Amino acid sequence: MSKKIQLDIISDVVCPWCVIGYKNLQLAIDELNIAHKVDLKWQPFELNPSMPAEGQNLREHITEKYGSTLEDSIQARNSLSDRGLQVGFVFNFFEEMKIVNTRDAHILLEYAFQLGKQTAFKLRLFSATFTEQKDVSKRDTLLQEASKVGLDVIEATARLDSETYRKEVVEQEMFWQELGVSAVPTVVFNRNSAMSGAQSVETYKQALTELLAE
């Protein structure tokens, strides 16, 4: 078999557009019937690396960061909910929803990759955050979700306690930022070209088709 296409998806688990972008990418892969020709890895990006443990109300955070009004926020949530339904994902936004620190989630996503369970765990965290209204910055929540996809809770706990794995996540984030990644989702193709933002199925299909033809 010819060399596989390497896809690196730089994203955060609290990024709603990352859900939509991935769903469209996966649909493109399915429609082209090339799952066996693709190697995919999720790469870490923290939307708010300095966010304290208690987090911040999401609407309040968006207002401070982008200057959005309440009307803007309501419209954005409605739009995301509609887009989610189009790709088979349910967004359950709620008033008390917080933006949280996600470094621990990225530590466990790297562990999941080593066991071939990274995408399953990433999707589990997306659902926990946006559909089930859970706080994925809390260790107990992370470990419960990890267990659901077959990760060893004792090993996962050890990794969360390790400064080595914590530093590795920061180093990985810096690697992609130094290459110019500043927004998520960003899909990198064969470590050679990239697309930022949640693209359409057809856009991803075109990019993948061109790579297959090379």
In DSSP terms, 5 is beta-bridged to 38
* pLDDT score of 107 more than 50: yes
135 backbone φψ class: left, alpha, beta (φ>0; ψ -120 to 50): beta
Residue 75 is part of which domain span?
A: 5-213
pTM (2 d.p.): 0.95
* pLDDT score of 214 more than 90: no
CA atoms within 13 A on the CB side of 164: 3
| 3-state secondary structure at position 10 | strand
What was the pLDDT predicted at 1?
43
* AA identity, residue 29: I
Q: Which residue has the tokens 């739009």?
A: 79
pLDDT tens track for 159-199: 999 999 999 999 999 999 999 999 999 999 999 999 999 99
pLDDT tens track for 11-20: 999 999 999 9
pLDDT tens track for 112-153: 999 999 999 999 999 999 999 999 999 999 999 999 999 999
> How far apart are alpha carbons 90 and 212 in whole angstroms?
32
| 3-state secondary structure at position 59 | helix
Question: Based on the structure, what is the number of domains in the chain?
Answer: 1
pLDDT tens track for 15-70: 999 999 999 999 999 999 999 999 999 999 999 999 888 899 999 988 988 898 98
Q: What is the CATH number of the domain that holds 193?
A: 3.40.30.10
